[in-house]
Structure 1
Amino acid sequence: MNYYFIIYKPYLVLSQFSPVEEKKTLADFFDVPKDVYPVGRLDHDSEGLLLLTNDKQLNHRLLDPKFAHKREYWVQVDGAVTNEAINRLRKTVAINVDGKLYNTKPCEVFLLDEEPPLPEREPPIRFRKEIPAPWLRMILAEGKNRQVRKMTAKVGFPTLRLVRYRVEGLSIDGMQPGGLKQLDQHFVYEQLFYGNKK
């Protein structure tokens, strides 16, 4: 039987169930069948949506780069981000991937007018009254290791907080860190592959 869950991975939790030193893992928060694993990963210091499943076909389709799918991130950056930096992010940025320069694909980037509706992070980011910490909405169709963080740093505005809000039509809307929702196969496939592309 195939299982499908979406979870809101908390900050400073590894995207795996097996223990590593003293770090928290998904096993500290989620009780799912033994053969269910995350599709892809979110960095230890990132938060948000992860899909857990034992559906090997779905796993392959989401991890194979030729089946591009949109991932939306809400990204808090350090400093008053400029229009020039946003335009650079939209076009392409040269980042280091596995020791080689990689030019990112064009993506959608928007400056948010207000803080997105997210739970407080524990611990919160370091607040500095004199330096702005605005939020960007970034929609990518690729997912290199630490790509969003490398991109914002390259244009001069390092990432302070990074939350993956959605993958295609699946989102963490209304969820809290440590939250889990079980979904059925039809709904998952509809939202990922056949629904209205956002």
Structure 2
Amino acid sequence: MHKHFKIYKPYGYLSQFVNNGQKQHRKKLLGELGDFPEGIMSIGRLDEKSEGLLLLTTDGKTSDLINSSKVDKEYYAQVDGDISETAIKQLQDGVEIGLHGKKYITKPCTVFKLDTPPNLPERRKKLRDDRHGPTSWVSLTLNEGKFRQVRKMTSAVGFPTLRLVRVRVGTIFLDDLQPGDSLKVLDIESVLNVP
């Protein structure tokens, strides 16, 4: 019987359980955050500087389904500056980013500015504060997941990402998990509401 978990991946961790090379030798891995079953893998990835909801599974088919474009992923991004309506509209419509040395136009997505900063745990590594200029928070919901896509998108419209937190995958939410916490998910397919 396959096992599934949700975890709050903290800032500074790789989204994997095994080091894949010399450069990763001293990096922090997900296995340090709990006692997970044999054969567990992360579903998708969050880069080392990103944090938030990461799903884990022992089932490759479930991983493929969740990584597909059928399942939305929502992120909260704290960006440098007070993001404009023009920039939000550009993000919604799709922007050009670089991807493996080629130009790529992102698919249309749902983007809006948050009225107040989200209630998230403090990040261990401090961000710059408002003395260095204003910041704002946006919600971005995508159904694609290209390499560092959200960061590249906000930079493309002139508002680089300072902090990036995934808060939802399908209908699974980060909820009140704290960095490093994990929780078993009993029936991941029905929770995702994917046919």
- Select 1:71's aligned residue among 70, 73, 78: 73
Aligned to 1:107: 109
Instruction: Find the aligned partners of 2:117 and 2:36 in 1 and give their Cα distance.
Output: 33
| Counterparts of residues 20-99 of structure 1 (less than 5 Å) | 20-64=24-68, 67-99=69-101
Q: What per-residue deviation string (whole Å, max 9, x for no partner) do you get for residues 85-119 of structure 1? A: 11100001000111111110101111111110100
Residue 120 of structure 1 corresponds to 122
The runs of 5 or more residues in structure 2 that have no matched partner are: none
Question: Which residue matches 2:9?
Answer: 9
Alignment of 1:155-166 (within 5 A): 155-166=157-168
CA distance in 1, matches of 2:63, 2:124: 30
For these two proteins, the number of residue pairs brought into alignment is: 191
**Residue type at the aligned position of 2:38:** K
Shift of 1:194: 4.1
Letter in 2 for 1:193: N
- For residue 171 of structure 1, report the CA deviation from its aligned partner: 1.0
Q: Percent identical across equivalent pairs?
A: 46
* Shift of residue 193, structure 1, vs aligned partner: 2.8
Distance in 1 (alpha carbons) for counterparts of 2:118 and 2:72: 19
Q: Partner amino acid for 2:40?
A: V
1:170 is matched with: 172
CA contact (8 A) 2:71 2:194 kept: no
Does structure 1 retain, via aligned residues, the 8 Å contact 2:4–2:186?
yes
TM-score w.r.t. structure 1 length? 0.92
Which portions of structure 1, spanning 4 or more consecutive aligned residues, are displaced by more than 3 angstroms?
A: none
Question: Corresponding residue for 1:191?
Answer: 191
Which deviates further from its counterpart, 22-31 or 82-91?
A: 22-31
Greater mean alpha carbon deviation, residues 161-170 or residues 122-131: 122-131
Structure 1 position 130, deviation (Å):
4.8
Q: Which one of 150, 160, 173 corresponds to residue 152 of structure 2?
A: 150
Q: Which amino acid aligns with 1:190?
A: S
Which letter maps to 1:125?
A: L
What is the CA–CA distance in structure 2 between the aligned matches of 1:57 and 1:23, rounded to whole Å?
A: 28
RMSD: 1.3
Matched letter for residue 47 of structure 1: E
